[in-house]
């Protein structure tokens, strides 16, 4: 993701990036202003002036979107929620929060800050527009910026997650039901309804002959639908993970296997009969490494008779250490950032179990199916 973004700098320590898709929108806005809106408002200027004025307006629009996102960032930081970064992209911007706000009130403040900034900008541009009516080349761009900031605020206030209005809705339901997960599910269901409406109206407009505007709306609908269903899935997973510890999921009583037996023997005697799929490879009782089906299949089958478990194993000292009391979500995050499919669970210098991403996934699936 980082690779497809253009890094602009840091504000309040938060990295600000520009998605390359944004350049497309910048060009589109500049082009539509320079070839339609501006010549209509100011006839008889030379084309270069239209293009420069169009580009300046598009830059001011980008600045407006950035200020909207900085509204979210400022309130997030003030409410103790770290921000990973801000990315300006196709539909505006995204401020990526490191964690969910701790309370409905904080969620509300962070969510409402963006639209509030946009409304403030719309009002400011309206003031400039009214005061500077007679200044050449100022009225048309400021009128445009006033409208677009107003639209930005309205669009974001639509009560469907992941739009700001959806977050406001989540904050309200969260406060009312006291359940963050229920609130997330309701807000993302409403987001899916909103996306469906966008999609439906878009298709209808396309059929009616308003092809490009319709396509645009349908595209926004599709984008929102994805984001909303991701949000509800994430809420389910997080709910399944809260309160779960590593020791609830880890494999215990791992079978020991001697370090000098061949993979062929191991597969035939112990893996195929289904006795176990995970082994601790040890030398005279001292654990040396872990061996799972993944390590076995990494070796070509014709080499199994000549490969020992020691040669195929994942050495213990190269594995990520975690503790049994660690909460499962943090453990999985730690494994994800280390690109580790499994981690050794250590208690007082002794291996007491093994946590694999696969086992954790199965555990999450069981809990979501049971609805607990």
Q: Which residues bind Zn ion (CB under 5 A)?
A: 114, 156, 164
Q: What proportions of the chain, in percent to the nearest 5, are helix, strand and coil?
A: 60, 20, 20
User: What CA–CA distance (Å, rounded) separates 19 from 189?
Assistant: 28
Residue in 163, 160, 183 with CA at minimum distance from that of residue 173: 183
For the CB of residue 99, give the shortest distance to Zn ion in the complex, in Å: 18
Catalytic option among 69, 96, 107, 295: 69
Closer to Zn ion at the Cβ: 107 or 164? 164
What is the CB neighbour count within 10 angstroms for residue 192? Answer: 19
- Could you confirm whether 98 is annotated as catalytic? no
> What's the CA dihedral at 155, 213, 124, 42 to 10 degrees?
180
For the CB of residue 148, give the shortest distance to Zn ion in the complex, in Å: 14
For the CB of residue 32, give the shortest distance to Zn ion in the complex, in Å: 23
Closer to Zn ion at the Cβ: 33 or 75? 75
Phi, psi (rounded to 5 degrees) for 339: 55, 40
For the CB of residue 117, give the shortest distance to Zn ion in the complex, in Å: 9
For the CB of residue 216, give the shortest distance to Zn ion in the complex, in Å: 19
User: What CA–CA distance (Å, rounded) separates 66 from 54?
Assistant: 18
Closer to Zn ion at the Cβ: 58 or 153? 153
Closer to Zn ion at the Cβ: 75 or 322? 75
β 342-347/350-356 pair status: antiparallel
Q: What is the DSSP letter of 277?
A: S
Closer to Zn ion at the Cβ: 97 or 329? 97
As given in the structure block, the two tokens for residue 169 are 């809705």
Q: Which residue is nearest to Zn ion (CB)?
A: 114
- Which residues are identified as catalytic? 69
């Amino acid at each position: 993701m980082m690779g497809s973004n253009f890094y602009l700098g840091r504000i309040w320590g938060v990295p600000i990036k520009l998605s390359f898709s944004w350049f497309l929108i910048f060009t589109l806005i500049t082009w539509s202003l320079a070839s339609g809106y501006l010549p209509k408002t100011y006839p008889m200027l030379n084309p270069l002036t239209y293009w420069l004025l169009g580009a300046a307006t598009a830059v001011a629009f980008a600045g407006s979107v950035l200020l909207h996102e900085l509204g979210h960032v400022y309130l997030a930081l003030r409410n103790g929620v770290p921000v990973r970064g801000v990315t300006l992209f196709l539909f505006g911007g995204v401020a990526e929060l490191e964690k969910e706000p701790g309370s409905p009130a904080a969620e509300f403040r962070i969510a409402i800050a963006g639209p509030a900034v946009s409304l403030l900008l719309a009002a400011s541009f309206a003031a400039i527009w009214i005061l500077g009516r007679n200044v050449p080349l100022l009225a048309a761009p400021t009128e445009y910026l006033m409208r677009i900031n107003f639209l930005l605020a309205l669009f974001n206030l639509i009560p469907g997650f992941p739009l700001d209005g959806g977050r406001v809705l989540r904050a309200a339901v969260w406060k009312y039901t006291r359940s963050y997960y229920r609130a997330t599910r309701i807000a993302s269901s409403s987001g899916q309804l909103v996306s469906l409406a966008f999609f439906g109206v878009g298709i209808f407009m396309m059929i009616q002959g308003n092809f490009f505007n319709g396509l645009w709306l349908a595209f926004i609908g599709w984008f929102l639908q994805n984001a909303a269903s991701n949000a509800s899935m994430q809420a389910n997973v997080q709910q399944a993970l809260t309160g779960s510890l590593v020791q609830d999921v880890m494999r215990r009583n791992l079978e020991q296997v001697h370090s000098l037996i061949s993979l062929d023997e191991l597969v035939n005697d112990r893996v195929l009969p289904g006795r176990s799929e995970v082994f601790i490879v040890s030398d005279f009782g001292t654990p040396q490494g872990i061996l799972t089906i993944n390590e076995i299949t990494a070796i070509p089958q014709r080499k199994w008779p000549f490969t020992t478990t020691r040669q195929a194993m994942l050495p213990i000292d190269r594995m990520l250490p975690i503790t049994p009391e660690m909460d499962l979500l943090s453990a999985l995050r730690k494994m994800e950032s280390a690109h580790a499919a499994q981690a050794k669970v250590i208690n007082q210098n002794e291996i007491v179990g093994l946590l694999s991403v696969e086992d954790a996934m199965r555990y999450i699936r069981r809990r979501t199916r049971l609805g607990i």
